[in-house]
Chains A and B, each alone.
Chain A
Amino acid sequence: MNGATWRLIAVEGKLSLRDKVAPVWGVACPLVVLVILGSIPALREPITADLTIFDVYVPVLILFNIAILAMTALPTTLAGYRENGVLRRMRTTPVGPVRVLAAQLAANFVIALVAMVLFLLVAGLGFGVDPPRHPLGFAVAWSLATAALLAIGLLVTALVPSRAAATAIGTLLFFPMMFFAGLWVPIAQMPPLLQDISAYTPLGAGMGAFQDAYLGGFPSWPPLVILVAYAVVCAAVAVRWFRWE
């Protein structure tokens, strides 16, 4: 890491915030939903011994944030860079285009981290939601989920021909992914078949790991292994077949 790399990460972060997708759809939107859901008394009635529906929605909205950043903001920005010749321009400098990709990933990771902390604070201080009882387990689960999602976003960027296609495919993947995270129907209320499918989707696995950490244990291995597999396989394929032009 040298001065150029840090500066690139800072600039990419600044650009992400200026480009509105990350702050508006990735952070503000789920935060508003969080506040609205928290204000509905019915959702704060316990459904099990120690969980309310609202408690379950806090991690769902954290995944919503990661998914917007990774599936919408990242592919649209990077495919745009490729289309506009930004990556090509970088090839003529000593820094090269790979570090632009790395800086985008790092910037989105940091934005997601800030958003996650913010959501936990608002849920905790505003609505009395207990933080995950196993903080380390939650941190591991969150990091792996973010890595898996960013790798999938990178894979989308790597393979699509244009910025428009990146936006379309990213959005198309976003909705089923969020469905299996339990955005519309909590996973526990899905039919068994959908629950089984959900466990193998990146956000379903992420949700499984989050819930383990919320309930006080280190996440069980299956969801963590699934998240690592998504991260490694998608990143490897993306790096191998990345279209630079």
Chain B
Amino acid sequence: MPPVIEVTDLHKRYGDKVAVADVSFTVEQGEIFGILGPNGAGKTTTVECVEGLRAPDGGTVSVLGLDPQRDHLELTRRLGVQLQAGMLPDSLRVGEALELYGSFYPDPADWRVLLDDLGLPAKTRYAALSGGQKQRLSIALALIGNPDIAVLDELTTGLDPQARRDTWALIEGVRARGVTIVLVTHFMEEAERLCDRVALIDAGRVVLIDTPAGLAGRAQGEQRLQFRPSRELDTALLTGLPGVTGVTRRGELVVVTGDDTVVNAVMAVLARNQITAERLRVEQAGLEEAFVQLTRKDAK
């Protein structure tokens, strides 16, 4: 099966400012594809080109075989969008909004069912909704047209942890209906929990595309060991060890970075020299760490 979204060498600038330098990725049918990166990395501009809200300055974008610019109308019928700031008129009631948006599509979902699924109050005005309810309504609006693809941008920003977890469960439910999901986020935990694959974008470029576990794995090689030697230690003893990539002193602490063999190797050296490691700490880098490391590396 061909990919449902194909972005090749995408380039977009606003005046002199390059928002997206060079981004390429593909999204397969039925997967949850994460677009991950720090604020200002070009994530939103990238998905706006996919949605047809912005015209690329270079490269090509194909969504369900359509050109988002040329075939915009057809695309809007098949691509549901949840915008970062996707607002509604303040005095519009939830049920009215869903019914209205449903009337825009040739084959809409039943808005009453969607309302129940998302636990939304039909009679409440938009302005009176809580942050979590507004977010759920924006998801409902992205799904009301029974889309093949849903693009969800900064889905859980501003939500409390419980609302965030509820939203995640909801997204998994959406995927179970067979909808392909593109998820824009800067939360590691969110990507780790939901995504099948993740594109890490920084400064307008794709740093890497991998599964969340694979992404974390790339940084796990960079394990960090920190301790206070019980007596003076010649750090040259450690720098020569296989697997060690760096040894630094931070006050009385010694910090050793390297792959996952580092802990055993360092302990053996210390034991041979009758030094004990006080206040020992080993940091296992997770996805969060990978994110920081990989984007920092790219910035140089």
Stretch from B18-26, B97-105, B251-259 at the A interface:
B97-105
| In the complex, B73 has a CB within 8 A of chain A | yes
Contacts A92-B76, A92-B81; A7 near B100 (Cβ below 8 A): yes
* Chain A contacts with B in 1-40, Cβ cutoff 8 A: 3-4, 7-8, 11, 14-15, 18-19
Q: Which residues of B contact A14 (CB under 8 A)?
A: 96
B contact residues around A3 at 8 Å (CB): 103
Residue of B87, B91, B96, B103 touching A89 (CB-CB under 8 A): B87
A92: chain B residues at CB < 8 Å are 51, 53, 76, 79, 81, 83
Assess whether A84 is interfacial by the CB under 8 Å rule: yes
Given A3-B103, A92-B51, A94-B76, does the pair A85, B87 have CB atoms closer than 8 Å?
Answer: yes
The main secondary structure of chain B at its interface with chain A is: loop
Asked if A44 is at the interface (CB within 8 A of a chain B CB), the reply is no
Contact B83 A4 (CB under 8 A): no
Q: Is A95 an interface residue (CB 8 A)?
A: yes
- How many chain B residues sit at the interface, stated as a range, is 20 to 34
**A95 and chain B: residue at smallest CB distance:** B104
B89–A85 CB distance below 8 A = no
Residues of A close to B91: CB separation below 8 A: 15, 18-19
What is the minimal beta-carbon distance from B48 to any residue of chain A, in angstroms? 10
Is B170 in contact with chain A by the CB < 8 A criterion? no
CA A55 – CA B85 in complex, angstroms? 51
Q: Is the CB of B81 within 8 A of A85?
A: no
Q: Is the CB of B76 within 8 A of A7?
A: no
Q: Does A109 contact B (CB under 8 A)?
A: no
A93 touches B76 (CB 8 A): yes
Contact B77 A94 (CB under 8 A): yes
Name B79's closest neighbour in chain A (CB-CB).
Answer: A92
B176 at the interface (CB under 8 A from A): no
Tell whether, in the assembled complex, residue B88 and residue A89 are in contact, meaning their CB atoms are under 8 Å apart. Answer: yes
**Contact across chains for A11 and B104 when beta carbons are under 8 A apart:** no
The reply to whether the CB of A88 lies closer than 8 angstroms to some CB of chain B is yes
From B85, B88, B104, residue with most partner A Cβ within 10 Å: B104
Q: Report the bound CA distance from A34 to B85 in whole Å.
A: 44
Bound-state Cα–Cα, A86 to B89, Å:
7
For residue A243, CB closer than 8 A to chain B, the reply is: no
B92 at the interface (CB under 8 A from A): yes
- In the docked arrangement, what's the CA distance between A86 and B86, Å? 7
Q: Which of A8, A88, A95 contacts B53 (CB 8 A)?
A: A88
- List residues of chain A with CB within 8 A of the CB of B73: 94
Query: Interface size of A by Cβ–Cβ distance < 8 Å?
Result: 23
Q: How far is the CA of A89 from the CA of B138 in the complex (A)?
A: 10
CB of B34 within 8 Å of the partner chain:
no
Distance A143 CA – B14 CA, assembled complex (angstroms): 43
- Shortest distance from the beta carbon of A6 to any chain B beta carbon, whole Å: 9
Residues of B within 8 A of A77 (CB): 89
CB neighbours of A85 from chain B (8 A):
83, 85-87
Residues in B with CB closer than 8 Å to A91 are 53
Docked CA distance A129–B52 (Å): 57
Q: Does B145 belong to the interface (CB within 8 Å)?
A: yes
B86→A93 contact, CB < 8 A = no
Complex partner residue of A94 from B51, B88, B105, CB under 8 angstroms: B105
CB pair B89 A93 closer than 8 Å: no
Q: Is A81 a contact of B89 with CB atoms below 8 Å? A: yes
Asked whether, in the complex, the Cβ of A11 is within 8 Å of the Cβ of B96, the reply is yes
A8 in contact with B100 (CB, 8 Å) = yes
B residues less than 8 Å from A8 (CB atoms):
100
Residue of B nearest to A11 (CB): B100
Can you list 26 residue pairs at the A/B interface with Cβ under 8 Å? A7-B100, A7-B103, A11-B96, A11-B100, A14-B96, A15-B89, A15-B92, A19-B91, A84-B87, A84-B89, A85-B83, A85-B86, A85-B87, A88-B53, A88-B83, A89-B83, A89-B86, A91-B53, A92-B79, A93-B105, A93-B145, A94-B73, A94-B105, A94-B106, A94-B145, A96-B76
Known: A86-B87, A89-B86, A95-B104. 5 other contacts (CB 8 A): A3-B103, A81-B89, A85-B86, A86-B89, A93-B105
